[in-house]
Amino acid sequence: MNALHVGTSPNGTPRGHAFGGTRQHDATEFLIFMTEVLEDETNPNRAVIEPRRTQAQMDEEERQMLELPRFVAAQVAWKAEKRQYDSPISRHMKGQFGYFKQCTQCGHETRTFTSFNQVECVIPRDSAGRTPIRGRLDEWLRQEYGEEPDVVYANCDNCKAQQRPSWENLARRSQVYMTYLPDYLVINIKKFDFFGDTRKIDTYVELPEGPFDLGDIFLPDAPHHPGKMGQPVLERGQAGPFKYEVIAVVHHIGASANQGHYWTVARHVDVAGISSTWHKFDDAQVTRANFNQVQGKTAYVVVLRRTQTDDNL
C-alpha cells in the first residue's frame, strides 16, 4: 500500500504498522482492509466534496424520496454513491441493499440504502438457539434478504407528529432487499459467536456447484426487462437475471477467530470460459483440488461471480 504513495516497495515494518501490527488477523478483516484501500487509491472521485446541506434540506430530500417508488429511490441513492466512488473495485464489487420498515399502526415507511463491498450471511438458528449440522448458502441468503418480513419494535415519528396516543415501541414490518448486485459478490459467513468468547460454528456449508439464481433476494419492484415497453434502461447491477457461480472460498481451521490457519480454494476458468479447474492455495503450496474441497465445515468467505446476462435485455 505504501508503494502507491512513495513509489517503491516498502519493507515489512510500514506494511505491518498499516494493518495494526504483526499479530494474526482475521481473513475477512484483511479483505475489507485491502478492498477499501484499493478502492480509495484507484478512485478518481475521492477528492469530490458534496455541497454542505442544511437539516431542512436533508429532511426535504428524505420526504421526496419517500414519495418515489422503492426502486426509483434506490436508483437515486445509487447515483449519489457513484458521484463519490468510481474505481474498478466500485464498478465490479460494490453493491447496495435497502432497509424498509413500515409502521403497523399508521403505515408510514422509512427507507435506508446502504452500499457494501461484501455482505454477511448469518447461519440461522432453530427455536432453541441451535445451528444446523449442515445447510446451503443460497438458502441462508434467501432467509436473510427477501420478501419474508421480520417484526421489529421502534418509535414511529409519523405517529408522534400526528399526536397519536401511542407512538413508542410500535411493531414495524422490516424487510431487506438487494437493490444493486455487483459482478463479484463477496459473502462473509458468520462462523463465530462473539458472546464473551469466540466460539466457532461448525455447520457444514453446502455450495451450489453450478450457476444459481439470486433474483428472489432483489427488490421485486424493479423492472426485469429494462428498455422494453417504455421502461428505463438500467445499469447492469439493477437488471436481472441475477445468476451467480462460486469461484473462490476462503477456509479457516481453528477454534476461534484469534487463532488457526487460512487457505483458499479457487476456480480457474479458461479463456473461452468452457471448462474450469480448482486449485488449493495453502501458503506456498498450490495443488489441484475438486469441488468437494470447496465446501465443508471450514468454509468461511465465499466469492461469487455473476454469469453473463441475456444479450436481449
pLDDT digits (tens, 9 = 90+) for 8-45: 555 555 555 665 566 666 778 888 888 888 898 899 88
Which of the two residues, 200 and 300, has the higher pLDDT score? 300
In this prediction, residue 225 has a pLDDT band, given cuts at 50, 70 and 90, of low
| Closest alpha carbon to 190 in 126, 238, 144, 244 | 144
83-92, 147-156, 207-216, 297-306: least confident range? 147-156
pTM: 0.83
pLDDT-based confidence at residue 295 (cuts at 50, 70, 90): very high
| Residue scoring higher pLDDT (269 or 99) | 99
Q: Give percent above pLDDT 90 in the chain.
A: 33
| Nine-digit cell string for 130 | 441451535
Q: Which residue has the higher pLDDT, 164 or 46?
A: 46
DSSP string, 188-233: EEE-EEESSSEEEP--EEE--SS-EE-GGGB-TTS-SSTTSTTPPP
Task: Look at residues 114, 17, 111 and name the one whose alpha carbon lies nearest to residue 61.
Answer: 111
Selected residue with higher pLDDT from 293 and 271: 293
Q: Which residues contact 285 (CB under 8 A, 6 or more apart)?
A: none
For position 21, what pLDDT does the model report?
Answer: 60
Higher pLDDT, 124 or 13: 124
> What tens digit of pLDDT does each residue of 248-282 get?
999 999 877 677 899 999 988 664 555 578 999 99
| Cα–Cα dist 250/173, whole Å | 35
- The pLDDT value given to residue 189: 92
311 confidence band (pLDDT: 50, 70, 90): very low
Instruction: Give the mean model confidence (pLDDT) for residues 95-101.
Output: 93
Residues with Cβ within 8 Å of 175's Cβ and at least 6 positions away in sequence, in order, are 99, 100, 101, 146, 147, 149, 150
Q: Confidence class of residue 103 from pLDDT cuts 50, 70 and 90?
A: confident
- pLDDT in the model for residue 194: 58
The per-residue pLDDT for 312 is 36
pLDDT at 246: 93
pLDDT at 93: 94
| pLDDT surpassing 90 at residue 114 | yes
Average pLDDT over residues 98-102: 90
Question: pLDDT grade, residue 244 (50/70/90)?
Answer: very high
Residue 243 has pLDDT above 80, yes or no: yes
Q: Which domains occur in the chain, in start order?
A: 56-306 (3.90.70.10)
pLDDT at res. 200:
81
* 3-state SS assignment for residue 47: coil
Q: Which residues contact 22 (CB under 8 A, 6 or more apart)?
A: 16
SS3 92: helix
Return the number of other C-beta atoms located less than 10 Å from residue 4's C-beta.
12
Query: Helices in the chain by DSSP H: which ranges?
Result: 3-6, 12-18, 27-41, 55-67, 70-82, 88-93, 137-144, 157-161
Q: What is the mean pLDDT of the chain?
A: 81
Instruction: Identify whether 241 is preceded by a cis peptide bond (ω within 30 of 0).
Output: yes
Per-residue pLDDT, 90: 92
